[in-house]
Amino acid sequence: MSAQALMRSLAERMRATIIAHADELTALDQAIGDGDHGINMSRGFNAIGEQTDAIAALPFGEALRKAGMTLVMKVGGASGPLYGSALMEMGKASAAAPASRDELAGMLAAGISAVKARGKSEAGAKTMLDVMIPVHAAIAAGSDLGGVRAAADAALAATRGMRATKGRAAFLGERSVGHLDPGARSTALLIHAVCDVLEANGVAR
Pick one of 129, 151, 152, 190: the residue that binds ligand ADP (CB under 6 A).
Answer: 129
34 binds ligand ADP (CB under 6 A): yes
Distance CA 139, CA 6 (A): 20
26 binds ligand ADP (CB under 6 A): no
136 binds ligand ADP (CB under 6 A): no
Distance CA 144, CA 136 (A): 12
42 binds ligand ADP (CB under 6 A): no
Distance CA 136, CA 104 (A): 9
Which span (54-62, 78-86, 98-106, 132-140) binds ligand ADP, by CB under 6 A?
78-86
Which span (35-43, 52-60, 90-98, 172-180) binds ligand ADP, by CB under 6 A?
35-43
- Residue 87: which of 60, 65, 119 has the closest Cα? 65
Within 8 A by CB and 6+ apart from 130, the residues are 123, 124, 155, 158, 159, 162, 181, 184
Whether residue 82 contacts residue 100, with contact meaning beta carbons closer than 8 Å, is answered with no
Pick one of 87, 127, 192, 195: the residue that binds ligand ADP (CB under 6 A).
Answer: 127
Distances (CA, A) of 114 to 33, 50, 83, 179, 202: 22, 25, 9, 25, 29
Residues listed for the chain:
205
* String of contacts with ligand ADP for each residue 179-198, x by CB under 6 A: --xxxx--------------
Pick one of 10, 17, 36, 55: the residue that binds Mg ion (CB under 5 A).
Answer: 36
In the complex, least distance from residue 187 CB atom to ligand ADP, rounded to whole angstroms:
8
The separation between CA 188 and the C-alpha centre of its own chain, rounded to angstroms, equals 7
Distance CA 183, CA 195 (A): 18
Pick one of 17, 40, 70, 176: the residue that binds ligand ADP (CB under 6 A).
Answer: 40
Pick one of 78, 93, 135, 195: the residue that binds ligand ADP (CB under 6 A).
Answer: 78
Question: In the complex, which residues of this chain contact ligand ADP (CB under 6 A)?
Answer: 29, 33-34, 36-37, 40, 77-79, 82, 115, 119-121, 127-129, 166-168, 181-184
